[in-house]
Amino acid sequence: MSAATDLEPAVKASAASNRTGYRSFQLGSFQFSRDEYFVHVSWPAAGQTLTHTLSADAFLRAMMRDVAWGFFYGWVNLDEVIGTRNLYGQVQMYAGSYYPAYRDKGLSLTETFETPQIMATFKAILHDWTNAGFDPFAAPDETGKDWLGVKHGENGAVIERARQTCKRMPGLPGDSELRTDANGYPVNRAFTDVPQEQPQVHAEAGFEAEVHAFNLFAYLSRSDVTWNPSVTAVCGRSLCCPTTEEYILPIKHGNDRVEWFMQLTDQIDWVVEDKVTGTPRAKVRMKAGDVAAMPADIRHQGFSSKRSMLLVWENATPGLPEMYESGKLKPYPIEF
């Protein structure tokens, strides 16, 4: 491993491989490298070097969500072995820590990093390992096989797409924009049957900025990403974060708070596991109109055969992770 390059001051990266063209990266004690098909992660534990291999496309899709979500609420398991935990200001990277076969034998590793350091490293990995023509945010049907092979080009624009979050509601003056053909958001191929008509808004003079409505389903039909929520309504600390989903959620999200899902269209099947051990707990098959809580002590992964619309409903009250972790709050939202 060479000294840090000019990619980012905090990022430790090797020179590009003569054979594949890809750089290798180091974050604390973790090593990351890729070849034509696979990503290889290694870490030291119990006097040896442990290794883990993932398909490069799955790795890029997963890491893309972790970066886009700013490490999200709680745990982002890139797969069953490696992942991150958001400590809000710092982020833990782990390998095997939530996989009993490793953890119980002392073969896991968790290290804590300042958020800018791990963010810069992950972004550098994404930029270097994402080839031209591959979009980690897209469904497999929408992006090609350019994820594989030796390095060929880059696709920085798709990696740097900003998550769209409103302050109050999209379309209000000074708030996030609505999506249109003109600003680069055509209707997705799977939602051509979603009506695009906007609501009739009849505002009296002087109330144009308060009498407001928009077509949420049309807005979602124009999303250019999968499994990447936007924010479309803010009520105190409660955030409506709808998103469009197709194929498999590339990560397993471990909750540090209760979140709720409402299926707006079509169907998503959720696999729910224990957050710490990964043992199966339930499957939740959600169809249009269904509402379900995701408790604070689980990890979950969704499967959507057809591109669907999901309303993720979050509570952004500060201090929630500590309240759930201490037992002050129960991991489920209601008792009846």
Near other proteins in 45-104, by CB under 8 A: none
Whole-Å CA distances, 287 to 34, 151, 324 = 38, 41, 29
- Which of 101, 106, 192, 328 lies at the binding interface for other proteins (CB under 8 A)? 192
Binding piece for other proteins, criterion CB under 8 A, among 9-17, 23-31, 60-68, 230-238: 230-238
Q: How far is the CB of 217 from other proteins (least distance, A)?
A: 3
Residue 92's beta-bridge partner residues? 85, 112
The helix (run of H) or strand (run of E) holding residue 270 is strand 267-274
- Which of 1, 4, 101, 203 lies at the binding interface for other proteins (CB under 8 A)? 203
Q: How far is the CB of 190 from other proteins (least distance, A)?
A: 4
- Which of 216, 225, 251, 310 lies at the binding interface for other proteins (CB under 8 A)? 216
Name the 3-class secondary structure at 140: helix
Tokens of 324: 């759930």
- Which of 174, 183, 204, 326 lies at the binding interface for other proteins (CB under 8 A)? 204
- Which of 102, 191, 227, 247 lies at the binding interface for other proteins (CB under 8 A)? 191
Measured over the CA atoms of residue 94, residue 96, residue 97 and residue 103, the dihedral's sign is negative
- Which of 295, 302, 310, 312 lies at the binding interface for other proteins (CB under 8 A)? 295
Binding piece for other proteins, criterion CB under 8 A, among 41-49, 76-84, 118-126, 256-264: 256-264
Residues 120-179 that bind other proteins (CB under 8 A): 141, 168-169, 172
Q: How many residues at the interface with other proteins, by CB under 8 A?
A: 78
CB of 29 within 8 A of CB of 44? yes
- Which of 262, 276, 301, 303 lies at the binding interface for other proteins (CB under 8 A)? 262
Q: Which of 276, 253, 313 lies closest to 74 in space, CA to CA?
A: 253
Residue 315 binds other proteins (CB under 8 A) = yes
Residue 336 binds other proteins (CB under 8 A) = yes
Residue 318 binds other proteins (CB under 8 A) = no
Closer residue to other proteins in complex, CB, 150/209: 209
Name the 3-class secondary structure at 248: strand
Residue 189 binds other proteins (CB under 8 A) = yes
Closer residue to other proteins in complex, CB, 10/187: 187
Residue 303 binds other proteins (CB under 8 A) = no
Residue 197 binds other proteins (CB under 8 A) = yes
Q: Which residues contact 37 (CB under 8 A, 6 or more apart)?
A: 55, 56, 148
Q: Which residues contact 140 (CB under 8 A, 6 or more apart)?
A: 247
Name the 3-class secondary structure at 185: coil
Q: How far is the CB of 306 from other proteins (least distance, A)?
A: 5
The backbone region for 170, taken as left when phi is positive above 0, alpha when psi lies in -120 to 50, beta otherwise, is beta
Calculate Rg over the CA atoms of the chain. Answer: 21
Tokens of 320: 């929630």
Q: How far is the CB of 187 from other proteins (least distance, A)?
A: 11
For residue 216, which phi and psi values (nearest 5 degrees)?
A: -65, -40
Find where tokens 């398909």 sit.
Answer: 55
Residue 105 binds other proteins (CB under 8 A) = no
Residue 217 binds other proteins (CB under 8 A) = yes
Residue 277 binds other proteins (CB under 8 A) = no
- Buried (b) or exposed (e) across 106-144, using 16+ Cβ within 10 A? ebbbeeebeeebbbbbbbbbbbbbbbeebbbbbbeebbe
Closer residue to other proteins in complex, CB, 16/329: 329
